[in-house]
Structure 1
Amino acid sequence: MAADTAPAGTPDRTPRGTPDKTPTGTRDRTPAETRGGAGAGRETAEAVPAGAAGPVRRSPLAWWRRQSLRFRLTATASAALAVALAVAAYLLVGVLGRALTASTEAIAYQRAREVVALADDERLPDPIAVTDGTIVQVVDARRRITHVTAGADRLVPLADPRVPSGDRGRMVDGGPFGIPGPLLVVVLRADDGRTVIAARPFKDVADSLTTTVHMLALATPVLLVLLGAATWLIVGRTLRPIAALRRGAAEISGTARARRLPVPEARDEVHELATTLNDMLARLEATEASQRALVSDAAHELRSPLASIRLQLEVALGHPDGQDWPETAEGVLEDTLRLSRLAEGLLTLARLDERRRPARWEPVELADLARAMAGRYDEAVVTVERAERAVVRGDALDLGRVLVNLLDNAVRHASARVSLDLRASPEDAVITVTDDGPGIPEQDRERVFNRFTRLDGARSRDDGGAGLGLAIVRETVRAHGGAVHLEDAAPGLRAVVRLPLSPSPE
Structure 2
Amino acid sequence: MSVLVFLGVHDLAMSERQQEIVLVNLHVGRLIRLGTLPPVLPPQKVAAVQVVDETGRIVSATAQMMGKPLMADFAPEDEFGEAHGVTCSVPGHEGTCMNVVVTRYYRDAGDWLIYGADPVVPWYVNPVLVAILGIGSLLVVAATALGTYRIVGRALAPVDSVCRELTEITASDLSRRVPLSAHRGEIRNLAEIVNETLDRLQQAVERQRRFASDAGHDLRSPITAMRAQVEDALMHPEDTDWVKTSESVLVSLDRLQAIVTDLLVMARLDSGEKVAHDYVNVAELVRTEVGRRFRGKRIVLDLQPGVVVSGDRLQLLRLLTNLLDNAERHATSTVTISVRRDGHEAVLEVIDDGEGVKPEQREIVFQRFTRLTAGREKDKQGTGLGLAIARDIAEQHGGRLTIEDSPKGARFVLRMPLLAPRNPA
Matches for 1:57-96 after TM superposition, within 5 Å: 88-96=1-9
Give the equivalent residue in structure 2 for 1:84. Answer: none
Q: 1:185 aligns with which of 100, 104, 108?
A: 100
For 1:173 and 1:162, locate their aligned partners in 2 and report how far apart those are by CA, in whole Å.
10
Q: Secondary structure at the match of 2:238?
A: coil
SS of residue matched to 1:439 = coil
Amino acid aligned to 1:163: F
Letter in 1 for 2:169: I
SS in 2 for 1:419: strand
Q: Does 1:436 align with 2:353?
A: yes
Contact 1:458 1:464 in 2 (8 A): no
Q: 1:487 to 1:377 in 2, by over 3 A?
A: farther
**Residue identity opposite 1:126 in structure 2:** T
Whole-Å separation in 1 of the counterparts to 2:242 and 2:302? 46
Q: What SS does structure 2 have at the residue aligned with 1:253?
A: coil
Which digits, 9 at most, give the CA deviation of each residue in 1:117-143, with x for residues without a partner?
x79xx844424999x957865321344
Q: CA deviation at 1:287?
A: 1.1
Instruction: Find 1:414's aligned residue among 322, 325, 331.
Output: 331
* CA pair 152-127 structure 1, distance change in 2 beyond 3 A: farther
- Code of the residue aligned with 2:100 in structure 1: it is V
The structural deviation recorded for 1:392 is: 2.2
Structure-to-structure mapping, 1:123-134, within 5 angstroms: 123-127=33-37, 133=45
User: How many angstroms does 1:220 deviate by?
Assistant: 2.6
Give the superposition deviation at 1:300.
1.5
**1:365 maps to what in 2?**
281
- CA distance, structure 2, for counterparts of residue 108 and residue 333 of structure 1: 120
Q: Which residue of 2 aligns with 1:496?
A: 413
Match of 2:75 in 1: 164
CA distance in 1 between counterparts of 2:194 and 2:225 reads: 46
- Offset of residue 159 of structure 1: 4.5
Q: Any residues of structure 2 matched to 1:389-400 within 5 Å, and which?
A: 389-400=306-317
Alignment of 1:118-267 (within 5 A): 123-127=33-37, 133=45, 137-146=50-59, 155=66, 159-160=70-71, 162-165=73-76, 166-170=82-86, 176=92, 184-189=99-104, 190-191=106-107, 192-199=109-116, 201=118, 208-267=125-184
Task: Report how far residue 278 of structure 1 moved.
Answer: 2.1
After superposition, where does 1:262-411 map in structure 2 within 5 Å?
262-358=179-275, 361-375=277-291, 376-378=293-295, 381-411=298-328
Q: Structure 1's 216 and 371: CA in aligned 2 closer, same or farther, altered over 3 A? A: same
Distance 1:187 1:468, change over 3 A: same
Distance in 2 of aligned mates of 1:460 and 1:261 = 48
Matching residue of 1:85: none
Shift of 1:430: 0.9
- Are 1:145 and 1:154, in contact at CA under 8 Å, matched by a contact in 2? no
State the AA in 1 paired with 2:283.
A
Tell me the matched-pair count: 410
1:194 Cα offset (Å): 3.4
Q: Which residue of 2 aligns with 1:474?
A: 391
Deviation of the 1:331 alpha carbon: 1.8
CA 1:114–1:436: 2 relative to 1, 3 Å: farther
Q: CA deviation at 1:403?
A: 0.9
Change (3 A) 1:466 1:154: closer
Q: Is the 8 A contact 1:97 1:209 kept in 2?
A: no
TM-score, normalised by the number of residues in structure 1: 0.71
Corresponding residue of 2:13: 100
Q: Distance in 1 between matches of 2:345 and 2:189?
A: 38
Conservation of the 8 A alpha-carbon contact between 1:109 and 1:186: yes
CA-to-aligned-CA distance 1:281-315 (integer Å, 9 cap, x gap): 22211111111111111122122222222222233
- Alignment partners' CA distance in 1, 2:402 and 2:395: 12
Most deviating of 232-241 and 267-276 = 232-241
Distance 1:485 1:400, change over 3 A: same
Distance 1:206 1:391, change over 3 A: closer
On the 8 A contact 2:25/2:103 being kept in 1, the answer is yes
Aligned-residue Cα RMSD (Å) equals 3.5
Kept in 2, the 8 Å contact 1:136–1:152? The answer is no
| Aligned mates of 1:412, 1:324 — CA distance in 2 | 31
TM-score, normalized by length of structure 2?
0.83
8 Å contact from structure 1 (residues 138, 194) kept in 2: no
Structure 2 residue runs of 5 or longer lacking an equivalent are: 77-81
Which piece of structure 1 moves more, 206-215 or 339-348?
206-215
The residue aligned with 2:79 is none
Distance 1:214 1:308 in 2: 95
Contact 1:104 1:200 in 2 (8 A): no
Letter in 1 for 2:3: Y
Q: CA deviation at 1:393?
A: 2.4
Equivalent pairs: percent with the same residue? Answer: 33
The structure richer in strand per residue is 2
Return the structure number with greater relative CO, CA threshold 8 A, min gap 6.
2
**Change in 2 beyond 3 A, CA 1:173/1:490:** same
Q: State the SS of the aligned residue for 2:83.
A: coil
Q: Is the 8 A contact 1:482 1:500 kept in 2?
A: yes
Q: CA deviation at 1:201?
A: 4.6
8 Å Cα contact 1:140/1:194 also seen in 2: yes
- Alignment CA distance shift 1:175-1:227 (3 Å): farther
